[in-house]
Amino acid sequence: MIENLKKYQHKLNTAQIITLSFAGVIFIGGLILWLPLCTVPGLHTSFTDAMFTATTCVCVTGLVTVTTAAHWTILGKAVILLLIQIGGIGLIALGSIIFISLHRKISMRNRRMIQESYNLDQMSGLVRVVKKVMQCVFAAEGIGAVCYAFCFIPEFGWKMGLVQSVFTSVSAFCNAGIDILGENSLAPYVADPLVNITTMGLIIASGLGFTVWWDLGSKVKKIWKREMPFHRMYKTLRFHSKIVITTTIILVAGGTLLIFLFEYGNPATMKHMSVGEKLLASAFQSVTTRTAGFLTIDQKALSHASVMVCLFLMLVGGSPMGTAGGIKTTTLAVLVLSVAANLRGKQDVEACNRKIRTSYIRSAVVVAGMAVSVLFVSILLLSAAMPGEDFTDIVYELTSAIGTVGLSRGLTPNLNLPGKWIVLFTMYLGRIGPLTLGTAVVARAHRRPEKVSLAEEDIMIG
């Protein structure tokens, strides 16, 4: 039987292995959470709730059907934290670091899986990349935990304060949005600059992607050594880094401004706050919709205009080779630049004096198209499964799921059995990525040789 499994494994392509690996970890994690030892005495965890919780952890989403702080025992919370860490780092990278620790050689097949799981362009230096990823992850989570400790230890005491700090830091950096603070998440800290800035810093840092980190780090070193003036820093960045940083700044700043304007006089959210607190809450809302899932203001109380802004930000998400989900900032940038180029009558899509390859444009269209298609089908199914629910809540819930965000307008705890499985699969598809899913499904489809060119034919557009 083992030999048959090995033969079947060799027949799978890389995308299919990644897809099945995530499903395997979710299933095992769900079975462990289903055990009575993981549930507080007097409460019951159904098989569906266990699988839902495992999925939201591995997919670093944050939607929960039961209150994490009150429902799970210490063992259950430890399992949840481990699943979040696995989902954030990446299953393939985690397995690779274990091989490296045991001084085992990583095969070419495993190297290819690392390459695809992190969206890398080449396979050279992958072992070094995995090591650097692990170092960056634990360093950032450690810094975050120390910052949280200044707030949580005075409030909860040394033992519980450290637990809260570590758990929240891991969850924030992995963009999971799961906490053990209670039902209100970070709402009690809406005016706390330390908690807000720490959380936003972890979310943004992980959302930029590790390659951008390393690019920025190398430039900072040169500036520190006075090998390069500060004003040349942006010009010397890689093209990918420029696109990611520019798009991120526009999305975060634009989201903050719009939410500030739309919620300024809303009595249910920010009307009674000072201007500084409103800006802080608006910035946090803009950042957390980038697939993090923590909240400081009631999502149900947001105005319709703010909901539209949040839906857009949730669908876009973070950047490649990070812990965030969504269609990614680079996908949005390529699509916008492509539209702009076509409106100007240009043949090439250009930015920062560089031409974007046609293959990247096609990939952006596929990623965005599949994400929107999955979202549309999920909304249709959940609307049919729960006809009495508010349509805005359904759209918000599923956009949050496909973008692995974790924000909800209160629908998650009220999901019926079919609704839970619809949201569960939407989270899973959002995490493994529409492009990876598409590759896994059509990899064995018959492909026409590249040298064959068919005759052109006209159709009417618009």
3-state secondary structure 98-119: HHHHCCCCCCHHHHHHHHHHCC
Query: Locate tokens 């489809």: which residue?
Result: 445
Q: What pLDDT, on a 0 to 100 scale, did the predictor assign at position 38? A: 92
Query: What residue spans define the domains of the chain?
Result: 10-437
Q: What pLDDT, on a 0 to 100 scale, did the predictor assign at position 229? A: 82
Q: What pLDDT, on a 0 to 100 scale, did the predictor assign at position 249? A: 93
Residue 245: CB atoms within 10 Å: 18
Q: What pLDDT, on a 0 to 100 scale, did the predictor assign at position 10? A: 54
Q: What is the pLDDT along the chain (462 residues), one digit of tens a residue?
A: 445 545 544 556 566 666 777 888 899 999 999 999 999 998 999 999 999 999 999 888 888 888 888 899 999 999 999 999 888 776 555 555 544 544 455 555 555 555 555 555 555 556 677 777 778 888 889 999 999 999 999 998 999 999 999 999 999 888 888 888 877 888 899 999 999 999 999 998 888 877 788 888 888 888 888 878 877 888 888 888 888 999 999 999 999 999 999 999 999 999 899 999 999 999 999 999 987 888 899 999 999 999 999 999 999 988 877 777 788 888 899 899 888 888 888 877 877 778 888 878 888 888 888 889 999 999 999 999 999 899 999 999 999 999 888 888 989 989 999 999 999 999 988 887 755 654 544 444 444 555 566 677 767 666
Spatial neighbors of 354 by CB under 8 A, at least 6 apart, are 239
pTM: 0.85
Q: What pLDDT, on a 0 to 100 scale, did the predictor assign at position 207? A: 83
Query: Could you tell me which of 276, 250, 249 has the C-alpha nearest to residue 264?
Result: 276
Question: Under a CB-based contact definition with an 8 Å cutoff, are residues 18 and 113 in contact?
Answer: yes
Burial of 442 from C-beta contacts in 10 A (0-12 / 13-18 / 19+): exposed
The full DSSP string for 204-221 is HHHHH-HHHHHHHHHHHH
Measure CA 313 to chain center. Answer: 12
What is the helix (H) or strand (E) element at residue 6, kind and residue range?
helix 2-11
Tokens, residue 303: 């105005």
Query: Locate tokens 């994690």: which residue?
Result: 29
What is the C-alpha separation between 212 and 224, in angstroms, rounded?
18
Q: What pLDDT, on a 0 to 100 scale, did the predictor assign at position 46? A: 92
* Rg of the chain in Å (alpha carbons): 22
Q: Side chain identity at 122, as an amino acid letter?
A: Q
